[in-house]
Amino acid sequence: MPAITLQSNSVVKIDPRTKLVLFLLINIMMMGNKPVIVEVLLAGISCLLLLNGRLIKETLLYGGLFFLLLAIDSGYGLQVSTPIGQGLIIASRMIRLFLPMVMCFTVLMKNTTVSEFIAAFQKAHLPMGFIIPFAVMVRFVPTVKEEYQAIVQAMSYRGIPMGVKAVLFKPFMTLEYVMVPLLISSAGVMDELAAAAMTRGLDRDSIRSNLVDVKLRLPDYTLMAGVIIIFILMKKGWLG
């Protein structure tokens, strides 16, 4: 991998704005009341997006899990009557509900650089007061995850358990042990991030030029139109 990546490594270039619109629409549709066919279509589109970003491992993992859960649900969903079985079905449906969103979110995070985000939003004439926090938020979520994993690891080295039992019986202690190092180490990362942004001239008032070229092209329009059509058809109830 090169040291600095300005443009994400995709098969077809997709504008960050398209990814965002797709993410929001898929969110709305998945959270609402919808037929199974819509779910399958949305999961399919999300898989395509992942593949387009050359995220093969994620495609196989999330896509495979989705269709596996779907198969289990449609095969056994109605016959299970024991409480445990029903609990498992509910859990599998919950996971399935979130999978397309997770996929789109992965595309947003792993397949979009911060430069691309900022360039796209600047083209959409959004104020800097919104662009910067939003771009940083998307960039920072994986960092939080990494820091959290490191903390849990460090805790286990010292023999402090971190699990269901610890959360249930010593909630405040566990909270303190996780939260304090997380915030302290994140604060360090934030300062570095801010310094990096200064060197890139993010705090200038003048209009920034950008090496990344973002433009809405044919694939963008096709994708957006496709999802919007699914949305309208679903609202009209023509998809069963």
Partner 1 sequence: MKKKLSTKELILAGAFAAIFVVGLIAMAVITGFTPVTFLMVAFLTGIVLGPIYMLYINKVPKRGTILILAALCGLVMSSTSFYPLLFSLLCGLAAEVTSGLGNFESPKHNVLGYGFFSSMFVGPFLSILFAKEAFFKSMTQYYGEAYVANFASLAPEGIILGLIISGFIGGIIGGVLGNKALKHHFKRAGIV
Residues at the interface with partner 1 (CB under 8 A): 27-28, 31-33, 86, 89-90, 93-94, 97, 128-130, 132-141, 143-145, 148, 172, 175-176, 179-180, 182-184, 186-190, 193-194, 197-198, 202-203
* Nearer to partner 1 (CB atom), residue 187 or residue 218: 187
* Nearer to partner 1 (CB atom), residue 76 or residue 130: 130
Closest separation between CB of residue 193 and partner 1, Å?
Answer: 6
Closest separation between CB of residue 144 and partner 1, Å?
Answer: 5
Q: How far is CA 120 from CA 19, 209, 213, 225, in A?
A: 11, 12, 9, 19
* Nearer to partner 1 (CB atom), residue 200 or residue 215: 200
* Nearer to partner 1 (CB atom), residue 51 or residue 239: 239
Q: By C-alpha distance, which of 111, 96, 116 is closest to 142?
A: 111
Closest separation between CB of residue 202 and partner 1, Å?
Answer: 5
Give the long-range contacts of residues 181-189, CB within 8 A, separation 24 or more.
Answer: 181/147, 181/151, 181/154, 182/144, 182/147, 182/148, 182/151, 185/147, 185/150, 185/151, 186/140, 186/143, 186/144, 186/147, 189/140, 189/143, 189/147
Closest separation between CB of residue 210 and partner 1, Å?
Answer: 16
